[in-house]
Structure 1
Amino acid sequence: MAPHIIPATGDPGLQPERTALSWNRTAFAIAVNALLSLRMGLVSSEPWLVAIGALLLAAAGAVVVIAVVRRRQLSGTHLVITAPRAAFIGVALTTFVASVGGIASVLIGGSFA
């Protein structure tokens, strides 16, 4: 999928800012999930859960980088409308890993009750 680039025509409104903020919210959600997975892995001595948490923490950093790039793409003289395909695939895979980590945390955490 080739990026769709259009010339910026004055005030783009709040859409570019909302798009950049949505990437920031995604990064924050992934980071929180990473910290919860790390904590549960350390408390329950599950190294694979610690590994998932570390992977998610790295992914959160990558999403922050994407957010910065998207903010620059949307605030220049030419607006890049579509994000790179790799960004969407990466976020989809990260969401899957976060889901697995969250489910594993709940299942392992339930054994302590």
Structure 2
Amino acid sequence: MNLLRDPGLQAERTALAWNRTALAVLANALLALREGWHSQHLPVMLLACVLLSAAAAAALYAARRRQQLLHASERVAVSALAIATASLVTLIACLGLLAVVVGAGLPRDAM
């Protein structure tokens, strides 16, 4: 059975969702970078740099994915590698943020 892709606005909605996600990550990265810069807290600045990289990667992936969806004549599934990579980056970012939050609660001489 040959199922053609729905020519509706799904590709546009997906691209807009990825762009909103990238913009949200960028805004949080800039806030973290500002906080790390003012407090001279290196782990926060490193986390901000990772978030900036993630925002750039999300924006690039969104543009690539949008082109794939707009020009495909059949259904285009997301690759397992893309899902695994996004999951791993999210896990690392969460663990990094948790380490920063726990470390920020400790007294300065304990670190």
| Fold in common (TM above 0.5) | yes
- Using the alignment, how far apart are the partners of 1:38 and 1:90 within structure 2? 24
Q: Say whether 1:101 aligns with 2:97.
A: yes
Range with greater deviation from structure 2 (84-93 or 56-65): 84-93
Range with greater deviation from structure 2 (92-101 or 53-62): 92-101
Q: Unaligned stretches of 5+ in structure 2?
A: 105-111
Identical columns (%): 37
Shift of 1:77: 3.9
Q: Say whether 1:33 aligns with 2:42.
A: no
TM-score of the two chains, using structure 2 as the length reference: 0.72
Q: Which residue of the other structure, out of 45, 50, 63, is the alignment partner of 2:45?
A: 50
Structure 1 residue runs of 4 or more that deviate by more than 2 Å after TM superposition: 77-81, 84-96, 98-105
Larger Rg: 2
Higher RCO (CA-CA < 8 Å; seq separation 6+): 1
TM-score of the two chains, using structure 1 as the length reference: 0.71
Partner of residue 79, structure 2: 84
- Using the alignment, how far apart are the partners of 1:36 and 1:54 within structure 2? 11
Change (3 A) 1:36 1:100: farther
Range with greater deviation from structure 2 (87-96 or 40-49): 87-96
Shift of 1:80: 4.7
Change (3 A) 1:99 1:36: farther
Assess if the C-alpha contact under 8 Å between 2:22 and 2:56 holds in 1.
yes
Number of aligned residue pairs: give it.
Answer: 103
Instruction: From the two aligned structures, give the one with the greater helix fraction.
Output: 2
Partner of residue 68, structure 1: 63
- Using the alignment, how far apart are the partners of 2:62 and 2:56 within structure 1? 10
Shift of 1:98: 5.7
Please provide the CA RMSD for this pair: 2.8
Range with greater deviation from structure 2 (37-46 or 80-89): 80-89
Structure 2 residue identity aligned to 1:48:
P
Assess if the C-alpha contact under 8 Å between 1:56 and 1:94 holds in 2.
no
